[in-house]
Amino acid sequence: MALFNFFTQELAIDLGTANTLIVYKDEVVVDEPSIVARNRTSNEIMAIGHQAMQMHGKTHEDIKTIRPLKDGVIADFEAAEQMLRGMIGMIDRKKKFFTPYLRTVICIPSGITEVEKRAVKDSAEKAGAKEVYLIPEPMAAAIGIGIDVEEPIGNMIIDIGGGTTEIAVIALAGIVCDQSIRIAGDEFTSDIMEYMRREHNILIGERSAENIKIQVGSASAELENPPEDYPVNGRDLMTGIPKQITVSYQEIAGALDKSIAKIEESILKALEITPPELAADIYQKGLFLTGGGALIRGLDKRISKKTKLPVYVAEDPLKAVARGTALALKNYQRLKVLMQ
């Protein structure tokens, strides 16, 4: 058995709509955007991750960039498999990594169907994994921020990723109630693109909108430490000529308002269906925010104002799910009950 364990390599994969993180031996060894660039004629993969992201929105007709995941689930099966294979291959170059027997734990949105789960498992198996376990994202996030999920105490996790926002109440190593909505980072990005077109008559790409979200993204029009106005380059829709304008965080707060309001509604809905004993725990412990969306300025205060409960942003929220997936894999004999 010890010899078998010696030949077993373990990988924890946070397969996200926007970014994929792979943890090997307690270390994040791959942190790349979930995107591939493919040659349309030969069908071969030209670039994966950061390299493909640099091509996104700048390709000619022979190259196509594909984001294999949409709303937290696999939309392009073949591209997802090639992306996973390529990212696992990246570890070879960085670490002494061989794969005679590969065990993986992959985190998935809590609201996905059996067919979608099967697609994730099949992609991982085709990419070389022999054993594949799936763990719900909110559960992985809870483990990642140091919550003891096996205790009989209720904790509410709000994981705002790229494709989905997962809201779950966790107790006794299980999800008691959850809400999963397909409004998250990608939706915020398209809100910003739409706002720039509508209000400033300027057309910007996905990458520019993503940068605006990072630099001046805000959930509130009143911040204690506001970021400086951000210059944006795009194409003027009236003249067709490239131009530059500056946007303030107040404008972006207005652009994101509707999507954030929908997330707030889902949080209230999840609180409504929480059993009373667990609701009492949540009142004492507050809500925990994880995922890239947790970095939007003022979001914690806005949710706190709406729910009248304390809201805490996890330390390094982008890696919370990946860390939790790695911990679940490390203790997989004990935490097998959490996996599917």
49 pLDDT higher than 60: yes
Per-residue model confidence (pLDDT) at position 4: 46
In terms of DSSP H, where are the helices of 172-221?
Answer: 185-200, 206-216
Per-residue model confidence (pLDDT) at position 201: 95
Q: Which of 35, 63, 40 is nearest to 51 (CA)?
A: 35
Per-residue model confidence (pLDDT) at position 3: 45
Range of lowest pLDDT (42-46, 158-162, 335-339): 335-339
- Token readout for 138 is 């909110």
Cα 89 to Cα 97: distance, rounded to the nearest angstrom:
9
Per-residue model confidence (pLDDT) at position 5: 58
* 62-112 pLDDT tens trace: 888 999 988 888 888 888 888 988 888 888 665 655 556 888 899 988 878
What's the distance, Cα to Cα, between the start and end of the chain in Å?
24
Cα 172 to Cα 240: distance, rounded to the nearest angstrom:
58
Mean pLDDT of 268-272: 95
Cα 231 to Cα 197: distance, rounded to the nearest angstrom:
15
SS3 1: coil
Task: Go through the domains of the chain in sequence order and give each one's CATH number.
Answer: 2-140+320-338 (3.30.420.40), 152-183+261-315 (3.30.420.40), 185-255 (3.90.640.10)
309: left (phi over 0), alpha (psi -120 to 50) or beta: beta
Q: Are 282 and 252 in contact (CB under 8 A)?
A: no
- Token readout for 221 is 């029009």
Q: Which of 185, 180, 175 is nearest to 142 (CA)?
A: 175
With residue 271 as reference, give the H or E element that holds it.
helix 249-272
Per-residue model confidence (pLDDT) at position 96: 57
Q: Which of 182, 186, 190 is nearest to 166 (CA)?
A: 182
Q: Where residue 57 falls among pLDDT bands split at 50, 70, 90?
A: confident
308 pLDDT higher than 90: yes
Mean pLDDT of 149-168: 92
Cα–Cα–Cα angle for 308, 313, 315, rounded to 5 degrees: 160
- Token readout for 207 is 């990458």
* 192-234 pLDDT tens trace: 999 999 999 999 999 999 999 999 999 999 988 999 999 999 9
1 pLDDT higher than 60: no
Indicate the Cα dihedral angle 91, 114, 110, 163, nearest 10°.
70
Cα 8 to Cα 2: distance, rounded to the nearest angstrom:
10
Identity at 302, one-letter amino acid code: R
Mean pLDDT of 318-337: 85
Going 147 to 161 to 254 to 268, the CA torsion angle's sign is: negative
Cα 49 to Cα 15: distance, rounded to the nearest angstrom:
12
Q: Are 180 and 166 in contact (CB under 8 A)?
A: yes
Percent of the chain clearing pLDDT 90 (strictly above): 56
Whose tokens are 């910007």? That residue is 204
